[in-house]
């Protein structure tokens, strides 16, 4: 009984820890990727606007 509870506790705790770690890591990774993508799109958009603004208008 004690051994079963101990194994169950280790198993449950291990699962919670693993899921929590993966979720946290995935969450941070998602935030970083999202920020990088938004930053890239923002930079590209700004550069594109500046480039279009500076160069003479051509047939688009």
- The residue ranges of every structural domain in the chain are 1-54
pLDDT in tens, the chain (60 residues): 566 776 676 677 667 667 777 778 888 888 887 888 887 777 777 777 777 776 666 555
In the DSSP assignment, the letter for residue 60 is -
Which pLDDT score, from 0 to 100, does residue 55 have?
Answer: 64
CA distance 30 to 44: 21
What tokens were used for 14? 């291990």
Cα 13 from Cα 38, distance rounded (Å): 37
């Amino acid at each position: 009984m004690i051994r079963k509870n101990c194994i169950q506790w280790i198993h449950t705790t291990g699962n919670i820890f693993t899921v929590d770690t993966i979720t946290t890591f995935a969450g941070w990774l998602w935030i970083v990727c999202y920020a990088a993508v938004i930053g890239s799109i923002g930079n590209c958009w700004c550069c594109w606007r500046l480039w279009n603004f500076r160069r003479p208008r051509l047939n688009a």
